[in-house]
């Protein structure tokens, strides 16, 4: 296991805009899952234009989201890139300005749409093709704002325990993990214990 990545709070509008771009989101996801790559190999993997991919990489690097990677086996003048390991934090919605809020909303919309598409794809990959069982859980908890913050930080700490950057075990796979919590809609909230369900007990769910 590796040490926890450095925390980075992002509130600058230009940095947020750099992230809220569909192609840059795809590039980052590819680098995070597949490791260092060149602009050419990224373009091939994502079916993008090489020149445009290089531009997006430079923009991501300008805001500190990717960085140069020195590959001792690189050929000629190949330029390799890797995702910067950071614990990225965005401003809470209650603290977002009128300019920042739509950018963060678009960033989240792109991320959620990609997550759903990739989750559906993962469900359809057979074991012979490298697929594996994908755990899924839904649940309801009753917490104060302070407790929710504590719950989130404990989740991040657990996630960081399993992040690796060095040699991987033979059976290790890149797994996408997500955390989402939101207030129960009116009409269902504040039912206390009588309306609560245990995590992982809803139809179709499995234990996390």
What tens digit of pLDDT does each residue of 127-184 get? 666 667 777 788 889 999 999 999 999 999 898 888 876 777 888 887 888 888 888 8
| Residues whose CB falls within 8 Å of the CB of residue 157, separated by 6 or more in sequence, listed in order | 4
pTM of the prediction?
Answer: 0.68
Q: What is the mean pLDDT of residues 11-24?
A: 93
| Residue 62 clears pLDDT 90, i.e. is over it | yes
Half-sphere exposure (CA, 13 Å, Cβ side) for 163? 19
Given strand 66-69, what is the order of strands in its sheet?
37-38, 80-83, 66-69
Q: So what's the pLDDT on residue 105?
A: 94
Residue among 130, 140, 113, 116 nearest 20 (CA): 113
Least confident of 56-60, 87-91, 107-111, 129-133: 129-133
């Amino acid at each position: 296991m590796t040490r926890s990545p450095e925390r980075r709070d992002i509130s600058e509008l230009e940095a947020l805009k750099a992230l809220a771009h569909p192609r840059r989101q795809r590039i980052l996801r590819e680098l995070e899952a597949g490791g260092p790559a060149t602009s050419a190999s990224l373009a091939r993997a994502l079916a993008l234009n090489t020149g445009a991919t290089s531009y997006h990489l430079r923009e991501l690097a300008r805001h500190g989201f990717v960085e140069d990677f020195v590959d001792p086996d690189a050929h000629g003048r190949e330029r390799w890139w890797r995702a910067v390991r950071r614990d990225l934090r965005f401003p809470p919605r209650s603290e977002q300005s009128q300019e920042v809020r739509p950018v963060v909303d678009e960033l989240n919309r792109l991320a959620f749409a990609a997550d759903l598409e990739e989750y559906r794809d993962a469900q359809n990959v057979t074991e012979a093709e490298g697929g594996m069982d994908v755990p899924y859980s839904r649940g309801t908890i009753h917490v104060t704002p302070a407790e929710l913050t504590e719950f989130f930080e404990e989740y991040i700490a657990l996630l960081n325990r399993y992040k690796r950057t060095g040699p991987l075990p033979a059976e290790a796979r890149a797994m996408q993990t997500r955390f989402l919590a939101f207030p129960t809609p009116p009409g269902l909230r504040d039912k206390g214990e009588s309306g609560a369900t245990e995590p992982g007990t809803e139809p179709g769910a499995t234990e996390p």
